[in-house]
Structure 1
Amino acid sequence: MDIKQLEVFVTVAKYKSFSKAARELFLTQPTVSSHIQNLENEMQCVLLNRNSKSITLTDSGKVLYNHAIIILNDCKKAIYDIKEYSGKIEGSLNLVCSSIPEAFIIPNFLEKFCKKYPNITLTIDHCDSNLVVPEILSERVTFGIVGSKKKHPHIKYSEFVHDELVLICPKSIELPNENGYIDIHKLKDLSFIMRKDGSGTRNVIVKALNSSPVPLSQLTTRANVESNSAVIEMVKKGIGCSFVSFISIEEMAKRGEINAYRIKDYSFERNFYFIHSRKKIFTPTEKKFLEFFVDYYDIRDEEEDKVINSND
């Protein structure tokens, strides 16, 4: 058994695919298959079920997978410790975000992190809030940032940024208001551009409106779109109105490019959460990122401290 075989085995298990593992590791698919076959021959057992559309672990494969993760992490830690001793901290990690954190929250943090750790490479992917948790649980990514919270026994949520949604309208639509607040019944007179199902923004809108006298079903929806940026551009073009994160349009509103309103007597507030698996064994690079993140956003949580300290 060698380290490369274990790395290939873990990657195939992670993606449940020989072809995806090959792309991840920059190997040919026959090479990946050969590594797995040699490992199974050495272990004298079948490690992967190949009979279904996706690859799954056998019972023996599950046992080896748990050991392989520890072995690979120990190897990474050894390399990390040596480089840290020589004054060069490097490595790679991945992060997945929903649209608002990706564009308006994380860049400021990454500016500081990358200055302190210039040799750590980050891969940042985007997907809707509802899809971030499956990515974390599958260990395709280590950390996630989302705008809505769904309880899961294996996911740790840490609240770190507060936000609110505001109603935005084209410059041509000025609504009667009191210090920027409008009556909720005015929403019935507007046409809306909504985020698609799965986004944290839509979840907040649906929850707030459905507990009000004007549920979402009573609004005129002109379009459902994928991204926050697309929503804003369509509003600016006069196609309709929408609810968006205040931090994404604050400067536009100040410049008078759009009109922004809040709803009288109703809250459209939310939090953003930093998430990771409770079962994840962090590599040294991942642990360094977690420590920096917790310190940067002043996340003081006993459970989070326990997670960090348990990896010492």
Structure 2
Amino acid sequence: MDFRQLETFVAVAKFKSFSKAADHLYLTQPTISSHISNLEKELNTILINRTNRKISLTKAGEILFDYAMNMVNLKEGAIFKLNEFKGKIVGNIEIAASTVPEQYIVPEIICGFNKNYPDVTFNMLHYDSQQVVEGIIHGDIDFGIVGAEIPHNQLNYVELLQDELFLITPASAPYCDFPEEVPLEKILEENLILREKGSGTRRLLEEALNASKIDLNNLKVVAYIESTEAIKQCIRRNLGISFLSSRAVVDEVNFNFFKTHRVQGLDLKRKFYFVYHKYRNPSPLEHAFQEFVCKYFKFK
């Protein structure tokens, strides 16, 4: 078996696409097709189903995939160690995150990893928590950081740090006299700005309200906004108040633009998780990143 053919087979299986495998390996699509066809001829079996425009592995392909992946990782492991010896690790890490981790956690992780591996590049993707989980399960995303643990038997979750949602108001009138702990019924009187469906922040708030027997429909919601930064700008312009992560408003609180309040009866504490596929074999670089992230916040 030609090693390039095995790399091609692994790429097609991973991306479920001949064109994406071609882009990943810097080859033409006809070359990708030729590698797969020649590998199937040599092994005298069909490895990839090509029906209905969907790429999937045959039973023979599933058997070969684990061996091929091990061989590719063994090669990459040797290159990784040699480059480490020479003092230059290169490669690319792809990480997807929901809004709060994307803006306030992932940059810290990337900067920390960059100090050890300055030649590694990153692709950071924005999805809500549900999309991150689904992308990892389907093999479209390697790593994710999310604000909600969505159980699945194919996923590993590693707790990184704790967070809390606060009710955020402007520090100016008419909210100057808002108490540090706001009565629950008070939020029914205020214009609220909420995150979009699917976000971990929105899910946590809904669960806390449900536990307190408050229907979301009873709130005076003036806007549903995906961007945390956009919500903060709306708060500053007195459109309404909102529930946001404490990590999202550190600067605004320090400069006395915002005040943070707890709401009586609402438990809005949560954890952020690093999530990855339990059964997928990471490359040596991905393994190094995985170990780095899992240890990073333990020493902070």
TM-score by length of 1: 0.87
Matching residue of 2:202 = 202
SS at match of 1:164: strand
Aligned to 1:244: 244
Q: CA deviation at 1:205?
A: 0.7
- SS of the residue corresponding to residue 174 of structure 1 reads coil
1:158 match: secondary structure: strand
The CA distance in 1 between the partners of 2:174 and 2:213, in whole Å, is 23
Residue correspondence of structure 1 range 1-312 to structure 2 within 5 A: 1-170=1-170, 171-174=172-175, 176-178=177-179, 180-298=180-298
CA deviation map 1:259-300 (0-9, x unaligned): 43221232211110112222132322122222222332128x
Contact (CA 8 Å) 1:185, 1:214: kept in 2 or not?
A: no
Q: Residue by residue, what CA displacement relative to the aligned partner does 1:33-75 show, whole Å, maximum 9, x if unpaired?
A: 2222222222222211111242111111111212111111011
1-structure distance, mates of 2:23, 2:284: 25
1:133 aligned partner, one-letter code: V
Does the 8 Å contact 1:196/1:202 carry over to 2?
yes
Letter in 2 for 1:25: L
C-alpha distance in 2 between matches for 1:105 and 1:62: 36
Give how far 1:175 is off.
6.7
Which stretch shows the higher mean deviation, 82-91 or 53-62? 82-91
Question: Would you say the 8 A contact 2:274–2:294 is kept in 1?
Answer: no
* In structure 2, C-alpha distance between the alignment counterparts of 1:97 and 1:107, rounded to whole Å: 11
The answer on whether the counterparts of 1:14 and 1:138 sit within 8 Å (CA) in structure 2 is no
Contact 2:192–2:242 (Cα < 8 Å) also in 1: yes
1:173–1:261 distance in 2 versus 1, CA, 3 Å = farther
Say what the alpha-carbon RMSD is for the aligned residues. Answer: 2.1
Q: Is the 8 A contact 2:136 2:142 kept in 1?
A: yes
8 Å CA contact 1:175, 1:182 repeated in 2: no
In the TM superposition, residue 176 of structure 1 has moved relative to its aligned partner by 4.8
Q: In 2 relative to 1, CA 89–20 (structure 1 residues): closer, same or farther, beyond 3 Å?
A: closer
Instruction: Give the CA deviation at 1:18.
Output: 2.1
Q: Look up the SS of the partner of 2:39 in the other structure.
A: helix
Structure 2 SS opposite 1:150: coil
2-structure distance, mates of 1:163, 1:72: 39
Distance in 1 between residues matched to 2:202 and 2:278, nearest whole Å: 27
SS at match of 1:196: coil
Question: Following the alignment from structure 2 to structure 1, what is the Cα–Cα distance between the partners of residues 25 and 242?
Answer: 43
2:40–2:47 contact (8 Å) kept in structure 1: yes
Q: Which amino acid aligns with 2:175?
A: E
Q: Is there any run of 5+ residues in structure 2 with no aligned partner, and where?
A: none
Aligned residues with identical type, % of pairs:
37
Unpaired stretches in structure 1, ≥5 consecutive residues: 300-312
Q: Is the 8 A contact 1:160 1:271 kept in 2?
A: yes
Q: Distance in 2 between matches of 1:7 and 1:197?
A: 39
The letter of the residue matching 2:19 is S
Q: Deviation at 1:254?
A: 2.8
Q: CA deviation at 1:203?
A: 0.9
Secondary structure class of the residue paired with 2:105: helix
Per the alignment, do residues 136 and 47 of structure 1 end up closer, same or farther by CA in structure 2, a change over 3 Å counting? same
